[in-house]
Structure 1
């Protein structure tokens, strides 16, 4: 019988030992191999990863400095989004992710207004990051709403439009919203009264008026969105508005306006002289 040495067969044959075959230590276990080969010979994955991280960390610091010194005007839309994603995706180059989001949803408003499941279809956006982006969107809407709450709405019309656009422009289904006002035209309630399909929302004039009476509102502003992006009113929109006006007027409730929100703009029934 051939005498065996004290070393395992695989080491006698020049094969890798255990330390080469097993994953890297804790914290680096996601690396797929202990060696990565390039033209200059073997380079550890750990070193390559450090070089990569050094590259995008330097870029991150430069971008932060530009924002610190010049504000948002110093950055393109994708760079602002990238700056936000730094916090949400700490161990990845976020420039490609930011550009992919804008390619998919076209604008910053489109990104923040997109439903979470659609955000997650973009490479690099997981459930947690999608939720964080929706949180930013919610904070933005809450900030805009605070600009009109407790104020005379008719004197803050641009703020009303900004809030409604933020809340509804990128919704995938039609929403019918009502702003309820008191006798001083101060906002006392903002409620979504109906959710519909991509091109229709059922509206019941009696329910609109009933809710106004419950809130002691003396005036209302009707708002709904067109997911198609085109805010042009339909014949059904016009007829429904006139029905609500005729139902509310005998009860002392004024319909100040009906606003239709699209992705790229809005129309006012009063502005079009439809009411």
Structure 2
């Protein structure tokens, strides 16, 4: 090591620069604009230049949608690694790594409270936890949230963000699709609203199941919504797909999404929807 590098290291120049860049700036993945982290977070993780809606974690999402004082439901305990699965890593090691970066034990977090005074249970998938993948814990948490809504006689709102079923749990992960479907039917039979908020990205088995079973489907602008990949579809039908294919805007244009709502307006819009779908005397 040269004397110049030794001096730089002793003074901490390199560490200070790296820390400053990391803490103060973030690059928008859509327009590549460099943004102050403080401005980005104050704007609810939405780029002020191009309107790109960044991904947010479950706790941030719940705090944006629910009134203060909501109850956080415990994530249900399930059998871990039932298939003793191993690819390049053991499934148990992947779970440990994901939990080390998250305050929660799995990818689906549920809050029970109110939205502008209207009773609601909100379940949120966190894409940062193993891509929001749907395994037994996610399925059980979904069912728990739906049951809480049934008990409270209020709406169940699910915010989706997932790459699909969790491959490390195989058929047990896929079985969460019919389990969740049954709970949505129970909500319907009870006359309770089931509302889906589609966020970036929602795909695979989640898109094929409870993400598309809502009474009302709301999406954030520019979200990627897909069952399977664009390339696979193009090779199958041998046609070039539109540039906006598999986006919120495309789904809205073709009747699969009821409304596209910017993040800043979501809480008010959900409160308005609940006013229509959930009379005051039915809320608990």
TM over 0.5: no
The TM-score normalised by the length of structure 1 is 0.32
Kindly name which structure, 1 or 2, has the bigger radius of gyration based on alpha carbons: 1
Q: Per chain length, whose mean CA-contact separation is higher, i.e. which structure has more relative contact order (CA < 8 Å, sep 6+)?
A: 2
The TM-score normalised by the length of structure 2 is 0.31
